[in-house]
Amino acid sequence: MTVILEDTLTPAERTMVTMGEHQRLRDVRLFFQVAATREFCEPIERITGRTVRAFVSGTDTHVEGLSVETFVLHPDGYQGASRADAERV
**Is the pTM value of this prediction over 0.85?**
no
Q: pLDDT for 42-61, tens place per residue?
A: 999 999 999 999 999 999 99
Could you tell me if 5 and 35 are in contact, meaning their C-beta atoms sit under 8 angstroms apart?
Answer: no
Domain residue limits, the chain? 2-85
Torsion angles phi and psi, residue 22, rounded to 5: -65, -45
Q: pLDDT for 1-57, tens place per residue?
A: 999 999 999 999 999 999 999 999 999 999 998 899 999 999 999 999 999 999 999
| Four-residue CA torsion sign, 26, 36, 1, 47 | negative
Nearest by Cα to 25 from 12, 43, 6, 7:
12
pLDDT at residue 64, rounded to an integer:
81
